[in-house]
């Protein structure tokens, strides 16, 4: 049997090829996208972790400073500093005091005064 090879047709199935390519592309693309998104997730998660750490550090620093400020402005420390002469307490002039309690005169002589017996203190 003689066969004319020239007459033999080996058609390229373009549609099938395109389908295969398309499927391949879709699968490959999906895989790459998955990887990309996964990497993105990891990167974002890492960023979130860093930000969380920064916030936590800032909070800690804030709390540390608050504790230090509280201690330094406590009555104990302030009184100690007054005693050491590092700070001084200046009397407030009477004309700049805004009184919540309305000033009233003493019953007997009508003179305004505050309580005192400091001079007799032992």
* Contact mark string toward another protein, 18..37, x via CB under 8 A: --------------------
Q: Is 108 in the site for another protein (CB under 8 A)?
A: yes
What separation in angstroms does the CA of 105 have from each of 97, 109, 113? 17, 8, 7
Q: Considering only residues 46, 54, 55, 58, which one is a binding residue for another protein as defined by CB under 8 A?
A: 46
Q: Considering only residues 61, 82, 87, 94, which one is a binding residue for another protein as defined by CB under 8 A?
A: 61
Classified as helix, coil or strand, 104 is: coil
In the complex, minimum distance from the CB of residue 7 to another protein, in angstroms, rounded to a whole number: 30
Q: How many CA atoms lie within 13 A of 39 on its CB side?
A: 6
What separation in angstroms does the CA of 15 have from each of 12, 18, 100, 110? 9, 5, 94, 114
Interface with another protein (CB under 8 A): 41-42, 45-46, 48-49, 56, 60-61, 63-64, 66-67, 70-71, 73-77, 79, 99-104, 106-109, 113-122
């Amino acid at each position: 049997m003689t066969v004319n090879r020239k007459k033999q047709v080996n058609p390229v199935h373009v549609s099938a090829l395109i389908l295969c390519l398309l499927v391949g592309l879709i699968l490959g693309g999906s895989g790459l996208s998955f990887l990309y998104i996964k990497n993105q997730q990891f990167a974002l998660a890492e960023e979130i972790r860093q930000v969380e750490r920064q916030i936590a550090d800032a909070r800690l620093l804030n709390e540390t400073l608050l504790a230090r400020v509280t201690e330094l402005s406590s009555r104990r420390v302030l009184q100690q500093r007054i005693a050491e002469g590092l700070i001084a307490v200046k009397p407030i002039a009477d004309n700049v005091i805004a009184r919540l309690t309305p000033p009233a005169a003493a019953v007997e002589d009508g003179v305004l005064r505050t309580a005192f017996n400091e001079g007799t203190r032992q």
